[in-house]
Amino acid sequence: MQRQPNINSFSARLQLEICGGFGQHFNPGGAKLCAAQVRIRLLSRSAFPMMAPPEGVVGGWSMTWEPLLDQLASDRTSGAQELTRLVSLLLSRYLRGDTPEEGCAARLRSLTKRILDAQPAMAPIITLLNHVWLKLEQIGRLAAARSAIAAELEQMSLETELRLDRIAEICSDRLPEGSVILAHSYSSTVLRALLAAHEAGKGIRILCSEGRPALEGIRLAEALAAAAAPVQLCADAALPGLVGEADLVLVGADAVVEAGAINKIGTYPLALAAKATGRPFYIAASLNKLLPPSLEPLLRIPDRPPGEIWGGKLGKLKVYNRYFEVTPLSMITGVITEEGLWSIRKLRPALSKTPTSATMARLAQEMMGPPMQTSE
């Protein structure tokens, strides 16, 4: 039996499986490396915890895509970039296995809808699917487009790692020496930025929240503490009152649209507190989280099970349980992207410049509902 590479991280296996054998890239020093080598080297620098293999996937190497779709739908704590890596792997496996040409576009469209329903509030997933469909529509037939789509998945995965490293570097450079930063819930982008600043000797201190109801903020606190970064874990309700003790607020985002930035519930009160106390309120987000108006209807903020909040059985008691909310762009000081700090004035026109595939635009029209409500 052929032995699989001895790689401990499921995420590293994920990237290797997507890009193994496709294309080559040049590193800054001029040495030619295959994409898989570049990816493993990049992932070895990643400081945030990786997702575990889905249940029933031995060692992360199962060649079926269905378990990954199940994992995607059930995941309540991973960040947008982690979930997008999972979708990349899912699509890679799907394209290898779906061979009959007849009806293949319809099957891929059906899978696209299932992915969108599994995680309806994650802009990078929509961006990834949009790129796949743009490539397919450009080439015309899935059979001819398979290798091109695989290369597109490979390139996007590599670019995401480079983007996150660049954002971490920019954030670290901008954070004042000895500053107190307030963070909310879990964001792999924010985690990289805080770790970069800590490792650069900036002497920062972090206040972070639990991130109820799934408590993913504890994951952020644990990762920072494991790196010996000074961090204090706080109850969600206490965080707005602590903004005045911080020098700035730094949060991630799952999507940035014309209506505002979509992030963990509780972000908007932090923005209000920052405005009231004169503290800067920054969002760290890569450009693949920016969605044009044509794709915005694909974003939805679903209700989650009431039992996550209250396990009683009073029929007349209604429970509000949503993981995400919209913070208006007017409440945000700026967005730190891989291209630097963007003002909201610069951000707004950029939202309309993304090319949209015809298939994704039709899906958006089908899902069109009332405009996304902000908290303003």
> pLDDT tens-digit profile of 330-349?
999 999 999 999 999 999 99
Residue 368 pLDDT class (50, 70, 90 cuts): confident
Which of residues 334 and 13 earns the better pLDDT score? 334
Q: Which of 207, 167, 204, 208 is nearest to 185 (CA)?
A: 208
What positions carry a catalytic annotation? 254
Contact present, 180 and 205 (Cβ < 8 Å) = yes
N residues, the chain: 376
Is it true that domain 167-304+314-366 has CATH number 3.40.50.10470? Answer: yes
Residue 212 pLDDT class (50, 70, 90 cuts): very high
Distance of alpha carbon 228 from alpha carbon 4, whole angstroms: 34
Which of residues 279 and 316 earns the better pLDDT score? 279
| Residue 190 CB partners (closer than 8 Å, separation 6+) | 183, 220, 250, 251, 252, 284
Residue 64 pLDDT class (50, 70, 90 cuts): confident
Domain assignments of the chain as residue spans, ordered by start: 10-165, 167-304+314-366
The CATH code of the domain at 10-165 is: 1.20.120.420
Could you give the angle at the alpha carbon of 94 between the alpha carbons of 61 and 20, nearest 5°?
55
How much is the pTM? 0.79
User: Mean pLDDT throughout 282-295?
Assistant: 95
